[in-house]
Copies of this chain bind each other. A is one copy, B any other.
Amino acid sequence: MEVINMYEKCLNMLYERGVGLSDIAQCVIYLQRHHHPEIQEEEIIEVIKNVLKKREVQHAIITGITLDKLAESNQLHDDVLHDILIKDESLYGIDEVLAYGICNLYGSIALTNFGYIDRDKPLIIKTLNEHSHMCHTFLDDIVGAIAAAAASRIAHNA
């Protein structure tokens, strides 16, 4: 029951911040385009849903999005952290640390997939990075990590 509620809460939080399951699925397709070009979005979305049912993934999502929102509304009560998050400073690193917390659960392929998508920043990850009025310092990495985790699961199941 609690797990299901947390799952729905996370889906809602992602959606409210502009990320739908289909956006994440497109990232998975991007990651798998050379290896599994035949895979269908429907199938991928099932894998993504399973990633989102993991408790540690859920905790990363609510923690990261909460920090993004507090930065955006200037309610962190810490000027230094506020500036870092608003600017999405490339040397901050804690956003990636949270993302690795997700990827690690899916093994080494998830980690390399994340590194790749985090440098390339395709699709929704690019959109999130280009928002000028919103702070997505954590969210873009979380979305990349979920996509990388799903791609890893698909590779292992193939």
Q: Mark A residues whose CB is within 8 Å of B.
A: 6, 9, 55-56, 59-60, 62-63, 66-67, 69-70, 75-78, 80-81, 84, 90-94, 96-98, 100-101, 104-109, 111-116, 118-120, 155-156
B77 near A69: Cβ-Cβ < 8 Å: yes
What residues on B are CB-neighbors of A93 within 8 Å? 55-56, 59, 101, 107-109
A97 to B60, CA, bound (A): 9
Q: Which of B63, B80, B101, B115 contacts A118 (CB 8 A)?
A: B115
A77 to B16, CA, bound (A): 15
A96 near B77: Cβ-Cβ < 8 Å: no
A97 to B103, CA, bound (A): 12
A100 near B111: Cβ-Cβ < 8 Å: yes
A100 to B100, CA, bound (A): 10
Q: Which of B69, B119, B155 contacts A112 (CB 8 A)?
A: B119
A75 to B155, CA, bound (A): 30
B62 near A80: Cβ-Cβ < 8 Å: yes
B107 near A81: Cβ-Cβ < 8 Å: no
Q: Which of B56, B62, B80 contacts A108 (CB 8 A)?
A: B56
Q: How far is the CB of A96 from chain B (nearest CB, A)?
A: 4
Q: Which of B9, B63, B156 contacts A55 (CB 8 A)?
A: B156
A55 to B108, CA, bound (A): 11
B66 near A81: Cβ-Cβ < 8 Å: yes
A81 near B62: Cβ-Cβ < 8 Å: yes
A107 to B149, CA, bound (A): 14
